[in-house]
């Protein structure tokens, strides 16, 4: 009996396909944000920086829909 309970604890939790898709979307947005922030640190052209800032604002708006922290690990 104890081994059956132990196996339940060790089994990975299953998520719905919708939750998995949402998680992948959130991770994609976080990676895109990190890439934009890196480009912004390296770019000096004002018009390109403005374009990157607009894209970053759009990504952060999408991330807010997921409840993601703007100061998450990808922002460093």
Q: Could you tell me which of 43, 71, 74 has the C-alpha nearest to residue 51? A: 43
Band the pLDDT of 68: cuts 50, 70, 90. Answer: low
Mean pLDDT of the chain: 81
Length of the chain counted residue by residue = 76
Residue 51 tokens read as 């374009």
* DSSP 8-state code for residue 13: P
DSSP state of 66: T
- Measured between alpha carbons, how far is 76 from 61 in angstroms, rounded to an integer? 19
- For residue 73, pLDDT over 90 is answered with no
pLDDT bin (cut points 50, 70, 90) of residue 50 is very high
* Domain coordinates in residue numbering, the chain: 34-64
């Amino acid at each position: 009996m104890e081994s059956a309970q132990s196996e339940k604890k060790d089994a990975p939790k299953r998520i719905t396909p919708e939750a998995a898709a949402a998680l992948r979307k959130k991770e994609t947005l976080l990676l895109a944000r990190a890439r934009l922030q890196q480009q912004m640190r390296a770019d000096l052209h004002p018009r390109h920086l403005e374009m990157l800032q607009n894209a970053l604002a759009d990504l952060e708006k999408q991330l807010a829909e997921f409840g993601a922290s703007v100061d998450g690990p990808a922002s460093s």
